[in-house]
Structure 1
Amino acid sequence: MHNLFAHTAFLRLVQIVGDPKAEPPIPALIPVSKSTWWQGVKDGRFPRPVKLGPRTTAWKTEDILALIKSME
C-alpha cells in the first residue's frame, strides 16, 4: 500500500521566518516576524500548519515553496 505522507517534508516556523541570533544564524525563507506569520496564517495569506504532536507545529515544504513561488 502506498503511503502519501511517506515523502512529505515539513518545515518548522524558525526555518521559515529565520533566526539571526541562532548559532549558526538561520536565514529566513520568508522575511517576516513570527507574529506577522501567525497573523497571515489566521488571515489565510499563509498556509495552515500541520500538528505533528501536542507541542509540534510544522508546515508542508510543498506549501511553503508554492507560497514563495506565488510571491515572485
Structure 2
Amino acid sequence: MNNERDDQHEEPVEFIRLPEVKKLVGLGTTKIYTMASDGLFPKQVKLGGRAVAWVKSEVLQWNNDQVIAARGQRDQASASSASK
C-alpha cells in the first residue's frame, strides 16, 4: 500500500514553551496571548492538561513577517521623502 504521506518528507514539528517564545519575539506573556487571541500571532497548541506550546516554525515565520513589514514601511517612507 503506497500512501501519499510516504512520498512526502515533512519536517518534524518542534514545540517551544512560553519562555522561549518570549525570548524569540521580545514580547510579554499578556501581549502574546492577546495577540494570539486576536489572530495577530500564532496560536498555542494544547499538549495536554494545562501544558501548551507554540510551533517554532510559526513563531519564526511571524518574526520574519515583522521584519519584512517594518522594512517595507521604512523603505516606503524613505522613497516618499526622497521624492519631495
Q: TM-score with structure 2 length normalisation?
A: 0.65
Deviation at residue 10 of structure 1 after TM alignment:
0.5
Matched, 1:43 2:48: no
Of the candidates 13, 37, 54, which is equivalent to residue 59 of structure 1? 54
Higher helix share: 2
Q: How many residues align?
A: 62
Amino acid at match of 2:17: R
Amino acid at match of 1:8: V
Q: Which residue of 2 aligns with 1:23?
A: none
CA gap 1:67/1:6 in 2 versus in 1, 3 angstroms: closer
Look at both structures and tell me which one has the larger radius of gyration over its CA atoms.
2
Deviation at residue 45 of structure 1 after TM alignment:
0.6
Once residues 54 and 13 of structure 1 are traced to their aligned partners in structure 2, the CA distance between those partners, rounded to angstroms, is 16
Cα offsets for 1:24-49 (capped at 9, x unmatched): xxxx1111110111100111110111
Identity of aligned residues (%): 26
5+ long unaligned stretches in structure 1: 18-27
Once residues 37 and 64 of structure 2 are traced to their aligned partners in structure 1, the CA distance between those partners, rounded to angstroms, is 20
